[in-house]
Structure 1
Amino acid sequence: MYIGELAKLSGTSAKAIRHYENLGLLGQVERQGVYRIYDLQDVQVVQWIKQAQSLGFRLNELVAAFQKDADGQLNWQEMNRQIEFKRSAICQEIAHLQSLEARLTAMHIEIDECISGAPLAAEPTPDQAKFYAFCAEAQST
């Protein structure tokens, strides 16, 4: 099949397919004269590339995984390694976001205490003590 049909079947553009080919994601593409010739496996590969992008992969992260071996098979072990690496990065980002959320909650509570004039914590941290002093000064002006 030609590039137009591959684009239609895979739901992408011919320009994107040429870009994937230039990056090496489609391996060695057969040609008849100036025309690129694709097969059904190329449709699947382009769909996988699009799916990987939708999951947060950058194209340069996929190059090693989408290299075909001498038998025309994809590097499944590398694909799995990239997936595990991405999952680990996501877990780290989740932990970071949870930490930010906890800090925002603590800040919200401190502001509510400042507004309400609630007594300070028995042993405020140095940052809390500075913040409470700031609140007291701001309320007195």
Structure 2
Amino acid sequence: MYIGELARRSGATPKAIRLYEQLGLLGQIAREGCYRVYDAAQLQQVQLIRQAQRLGFSLAELAQALGSDPAQPDWRTLLDRIEAKRHEVLAEIARLRQLEHELGVVGEEIAGCLHGQPACEIDGA
């Protein structure tokens, strides 16, 4: 299939597909004259790349995890990267929960100021 068909089937833009190819994420692409010809394995690869991006992986991270042969991903490395990403997400959730708590405390202090509490002071100000 040509790049337009690959784009339609995968949901990626032709520009993105060319970038994936340039970064070596699609392996060797066959050519018919000056046209690139993609196969089902490359469609799967583009779908994997798009899924990984939705999960927060950068193209650089994918290039490292996929190894030298994108058609045969290093599944152990990919699994390790997924676990590392999960830990990053959990740490970010904890940070955001703490931030939400602090915003609530400051909001309550400001609400007290609006209601005329004596000696209205905001902590840390």
Alignment TM class, shorter chain as reference = 0.7 to 0.9
Unaligned runs of 5+ in 2: none
1:102 and 2:101 aligned: yes
State, as a whole percentage, how many aligned pairs show the same letter. 47
| Residue equivalent to 1:10 | 10
CA contact (8 A) 1:6 1:43 kept: yes
Unaligned runs of 5+ in 1: 121-126, 132-141
1:77 and 2:76 aligned: yes
Deviation at 1:113, TM superposition (A): 3.2
| Residue equivalent to 2:53 | 53
| Partners of 2:26 and 2:66 in 1: CA distance | 7
| Partners of 1:22 and 1:42 in 2: CA distance | 14
The normalised TM-score by structure 2 is 0.80
Rg larger in structure: 1
Work out which structure has the larger RCO, using CA pairs closer than 8 Å and 6 or more positions apart in sequence: 2
CA contact (8 A) 1:27 1:67 kept: no
Task: State the number of aligned residues.
Answer: 123
Deviation at 1:109, TM superposition (A): 2.1
CA distances 1:44-98 after superposition (whole Å, capped 9, x unpaired): 110111122222222112112233549x411212221221222111111111111
| Residue equivalent to 2:85 | 86
| Partners of 1:31 and 1:68 in 2: CA distance | 21
| Residue equivalent to 1:44 | 44
Deviation at 1:27, TM superposition (A): 1.7
Cα RMSD after superposing both structures? 2.6
| Partners of 1:34 and 1:17 in 2: CA distance | 16
- Counterpart amino acid of residue 49 in structure 1: I
Greater Cα offset, 111-120 or 73-82: 111-120
The normalised TM-score by structure 1 is 0.72
Q: What SS does the aligned partner of 1:31 have?
A: strand
- Counterpart amino acid of residue 64 in structure 2: A
Q: Cα gap change, 1:53/1:87 in structure 2, threshold over 3 Å: closer, same or farther?
A: same
